[in-house]
Structure 1
Amino acid sequence: MELIKAVDVKIFPYRRLKPETTEKILNSIMEYDGILRVMINGNSIPKVVGYGPAKGTQVNHEDRKVIKVKNDSVELRVSVGELILTVKYENLDLFLEKLQNLLENTLSFGFEVSTGIFTKTNITVSDYLKIGYGIDNTIDPRLIGMVDPKAKSQDTVKLIGD
């Protein structure tokens, strides 16, 4: 497995992003060179109320939509509060410059952009449990740490435009 020097870039908007804004930002970002992985974080938007007096009722939240990213459909299951992008290190300066321009032209409110390591970089116990032992040399580095042991991977991980 080839080791890729990469860094994470966290975009933290001061407001939650609407699906349309998220779609626009993601499609623009996916055109940039050096993108390895994109994670969308935020508060969960369930399809059905899980507890309380309304348990079992449908939740009709306006932000739970299907968006198109590089012609692939992605269901937003969260109210988008931050984006974490993993970028090849050698592309970082140009990437940050393009990203800053994109966000300033797209968002009408403030945001912060931070660089660092915000995602797992080593294979986790959950990876071993979900995928199996011996994955050290066969796992796609973009999938390290993306395993949710309580969920089906196809529900939480979407590979776009390989």
Structure 2
Amino acid sequence: ARPRAARGQRGAKRGRDMRACRPVQGGNGVSRAEARAEGEAFLCEYFPGAAQLPLECRGTELFVLPREGCGPAEGLRVVQAGVCAGSAARGRFVPAHHLFMAYGAQCANAERLTLADPRTAAWLRGEAIPAETAAPGWAAVLADGFPLGFGKQSGGVVKNHYPKGLRNLK
């Protein structure tokens, strides 16, 4: 029998080899070029200021970098460089919560709330709220100008896309 360390090292090497062989397409059948094009179109429509920043595509996920050359350097392990803008999925772009938290105040479509508004507490509980200032489509939800997250406005209601783990259930 081999020592445990030898078996573990062999498995780690196999994992590295498998990662190197990943296809250019993501698991949902979208190529990197398609993911980048869909992400750029989304950013141009909803975040004109962020659309001017450099982008990096990793699989089907698109990241907004703060400035040119901020991507991971060769041989350097970086947990995450930039802000995750979202991912592409078969002809559409699904935005990420990170994008709206980082650039929500700059979003072209927003539902504007105040802290005293009862809709703010409802939003933080994960409920859909009646739309007053947001147009149909993806919208940032702002409380006194600060981003709380995002939702999708349709039929006069902003449907909540606030992450379940962050919801205030009281």
TM-score (norm 1): 0.25
**Bigger fraction of residues in helix:** 2
